[in-house]
């Protein structure tokens, strides 16, 4: 195995340097009580953890039974497994987060994958403009990638492309589907209910770009496939990044709503688990979450995603800090004007603050004073900020663990050697996210889970996975 871009390992990263709230010198009794209340609100107790996991499993069953349920449990049409001997060259287009990526994937056989990729930033105005402009932009990026890498197509032939489109799509074939809703700040007009493949193919055709969209893939499905290429026991692909979601291998006989024909007895399900608990029955939503939800482009949707994903954690933290400031319990009631604007407290700052183990909380100070322009901060201010960050981060990790545990319980996979491929900036960079998840799995099943289940970073798996999916589509003639 050489030149594979998929780093399948637990990467060394900073660990959470936790503050004990009992050692903080509070400035007043009121401040102490406010902190205690926050700790209570944000803590997922063992009982709540189990209850969320149970509810999640029920949600999975509902989604497998019929369409239109809260967790869509989308049948991906991906069947068949890869054994690493496959060869061929494919393109992948990965859309669904901050950047758009075009990847050329060359499978040389023997499990070897060579890739070249270019990232393009998607402007905010494109995300919320009209759908045609967004898809035209995608086609232009693919075109310039072909130029840049001097990929020449001869005669009438076309390059096969796997399209990772990481939004809830009701799939009707391996390369067809309809968008259920936008998420993660995207809201391009005229797309809901339409087929993203048709839009993309049309954009290619109008520009005479010789590319055929052979497969439509969710990033979780791509991650699962890519991880499975190097870890045959892979049963789940998870994204913990700008958004969050999971895919796993399900028995076709368990998919009650499946009316199609397939020779296979297993199919990958894209769960769309970020939508869990739209009914607000079990998740411990705080007023800070509700504020974020109301101001989002998709209110009342993706409730779990908004408590876990990297796009939102900084904003929840900002909401908590503003509340403490307004009650004069932080920074003596003074605010830096920067913090008045939505999204200014980035989730990346949380990673730095979580890892800050200096006695004076030096790194936290730098973020507050240099980046966010607070004129000055006291140690007490910084400690309070750090505790708030830890509460929001830990809640996200435990909710992720509850979701993963539910899937492992549903499939029974925790009882046997199983691999889980996880991609996304949150998992990659947030301190202790991996260990928090493993702790949660142990909490759910006991020490056996730790022995059996391995979670690993499946870096950039979604691009490679889309190419693998295009290959599977060709192999099984499903496209």
| b/e sequence 459-471, b meaning 16+ C-beta within 10 Å | bbbbbbbbbbbbb
* Shortest reach from residue 96's CB to ligand BGC, in Å: 5
C-alpha distance across the termini of the chain, in Å: 29
Phi/psi at 270 (5° precision): -90, 110
Please report whether residue 168 would count as binding ligand BGC according to CB under 6 A: yes
Beta carbon nearer to ligand BGC, 96 or 196: 96
The residue with its CB nearest to ligand BGC is: 243
Active site residue 8: no
Please report whether residue 166 would count as binding ligand BGC according to CB under 6 A: yes
Q: Find the angle CA(221)-CA(225)-CA(228) to the nearest 5 degrees.
A: 135
Stretch that binds ligand BGC, among 32-40, 82-90, 135-143, 214-222 (CB under 6 A): 214-222
Count of other CB atoms within 10 angstroms of residue 77? 26
**Interface pick for ligand BGC out of 96, 177, 310, 440 (rule CB under 6 A):** 96
Active site residue 219: yes
Please report whether residue 440 would count as binding ligand BGC according to CB under 6 A: no
Catalytic residue among 219, 293, 436, 460: 219
Beta carbon nearer to ligand BGC, 183 or 286: 183
β-pair partners for 61: none
Stretch that binds ligand BGC, among 117-125, 241-249, 362-370, 382-390 (CB under 6 A): 241-249
Please report whether residue 305 would count as binding ligand BGC according to CB under 6 A: yes
Stretch that binds ligand BGC, among 56-64, 98-106, 237-245, 358-366 (CB under 6 A): 237-245
* Shortest reach from residue 273's CB to ligand BGC, in Å: 9
Distances (CA, A) of 10 to 457, 459, 465: 6, 11, 19
Please report whether residue 352 would count as binding ligand BGC according to CB under 6 A: no
Please report whether residue 220 would count as binding ligand BGC according to CB under 6 A: yes
* Shortest reach from residue 359's CB to ligand BGC, in Å: 38
* Shortest reach from residue 310's CB to ligand BGC, in Å: 10
β-pair partners for 104: 91, 116
Please report whether residue 70 would count as binding ligand BGC according to CB under 6 A: no
Binding to ligand BGC (CB under 6 A) within 267-296 occurs at 272, 274
Beta carbon nearer to ligand BGC, 304 or 413: 304
Active site residue 147: no
Catalytic residue among 8, 94, 101, 460: 101
Beta carbon nearer to ligand BGC, 50 or 298: 298
Beta carbon nearer to ligand BGC, 166 or 411: 166
Q: Which of 216, 364, 239, 241 is nearest to 313 (CA)?
A: 241
**Interface pick for ligand BGC out of 60, 146, 236, 239 (rule CB under 6 A):** 239
Size of the site for ligand BGC (CB under 6 A): 18
Please report whether residue 219 would count as binding ligand BGC according to CB under 6 A: yes
Distance from C-alpha of 145 to C-alpha of 102, rounded to nearest angstrom: 7
* Shortest reach from residue 246's CB to ligand BGC, in Å: 8
* Shortest reach from residue 102's CB to ligand BGC, in Å: 17
Q: Which of 318, 321, 347 is nearest to 240 (CA)?
A: 347
**Interface pick for ligand BGC out of 218, 230, 364, 411 (rule CB under 6 A):** 218
Report yes or no: 261 and 477 within 8 Å, Cβ to Cβ.
no
* Shortest reach from residue 128's CB to ligand BGC, in Å: 15
Phi/psi at 10 (5° precision): -85, 115
Please report whether residue 175 would count as binding ligand BGC according to CB under 6 A: no
Please report whether residue 164 would count as binding ligand BGC according to CB under 6 A: no
Please report whether residue 393 would count as binding ligand BGC according to CB under 6 A: no
* Shortest reach from residue 244's CB to ligand BGC, in Å: 6
Stretch that binds ligand BGC, among 20-28, 239-247, 283-291, 371-379 (CB under 6 A): 239-247
The contact set with ligand BGC (CB under 6 A) reads 96, 166-168, 183-184, 218-220, 239, 241, 243-245, 272, 274, 302, 305
Please identify every residue annotated as catalytic: 101, 166, 219
């Amino acid at each position: 195995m050489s030149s594979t871009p998929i780093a399948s390992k637990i990467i060394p990263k900073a660990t959470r340097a936790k503050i004990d709230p009992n050692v903080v010198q509070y400035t007043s009794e009121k401040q102490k009580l406010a902190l205690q209340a926050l700790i209570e609100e944000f803590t997922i107790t063992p009982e709540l953890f189990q209850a969320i996991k149970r509810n999640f499993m029920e949600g999975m069953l509902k989604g497998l039974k019929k369409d239109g349920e809260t967790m869509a449990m989308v049948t991906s049409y991906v069947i068949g497994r890869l054994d690493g001997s496959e060869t061929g060259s494919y393109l992948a287009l990965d859309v669904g987060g901050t950047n758009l990526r075009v990847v050329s994937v060359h499978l040389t056989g023997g499990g070897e994958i060579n890739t070249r990729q270019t990232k393009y930033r998607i402007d905010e105005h494109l995300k919320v403009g009209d759908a045609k402009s967004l898809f035209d932009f995608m086609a232009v990026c693919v075109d310039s990638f072909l130029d840049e890498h001097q990929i020449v197509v001869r005669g009438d032939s076309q390059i096969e492309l796997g399209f990772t489109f990481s939004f809830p799509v009701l799939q009707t074939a391996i390369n067809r589907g309809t968008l259920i809703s936008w998420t993660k700040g995207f809201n391009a007009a005229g797309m809901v209910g339409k087929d993203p493949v048709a839009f993309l193919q049309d954009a290619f055709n109008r520009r005479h770009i010789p590319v055929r969209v052979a497969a439509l893939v969710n990033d979780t499905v791509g991650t699962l496939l890519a991880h499975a290429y190097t870890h045959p026991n892979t049963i789940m692909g998870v994204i913990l990044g700008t958004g969050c979601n999971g895919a796993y291998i399900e028995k076709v006989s368990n998919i009650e709503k499946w009316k199609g024909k397939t020779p296979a007895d297993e199919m990958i399900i894209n769960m769309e688990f970020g939508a869990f608990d739209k009914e607000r029955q079990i998740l411990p939503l705080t007023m800070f979450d509700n504020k974020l939800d109301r101001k989002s482009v998709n209110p009342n949707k993706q409730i779990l995603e908004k408590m876990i994903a990297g796009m939102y954690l900084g904003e929840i933290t900002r909401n908590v800090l503003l509340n403490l400031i307004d009650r004069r319990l932080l920074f003596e009631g003074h605010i830096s004007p920067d913090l008045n604007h939505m999204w200014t407290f980035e989730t990346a700052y949380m990673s730095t603050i979580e890892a800050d183990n200096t006695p004076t909380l030096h790194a936290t100070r730098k973020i507050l004073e240099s980046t966010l322009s607070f004129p000055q901060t006291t140690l007490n201010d910084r400690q309070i900020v750090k505790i708030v960050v830890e509460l929001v981060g830990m809640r996200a990790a435990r909710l992720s663990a509850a979701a993963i545990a539910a899937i492992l319980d549903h499939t029974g996979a925790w009882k046997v050697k199983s691999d889980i491929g996880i991609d996304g900036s949150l998992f990659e960079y947030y301190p202790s996210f991996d260990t928090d998840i493993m702790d949660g799995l142990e909490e759910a099943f006991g020490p056996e889970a730790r022995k059996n289940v391995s979670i690993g970073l499946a870096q950039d798996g979604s691009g490679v996975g889309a190419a693998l999916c295009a290959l599977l589509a060709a192999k099984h003639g499903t496209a």
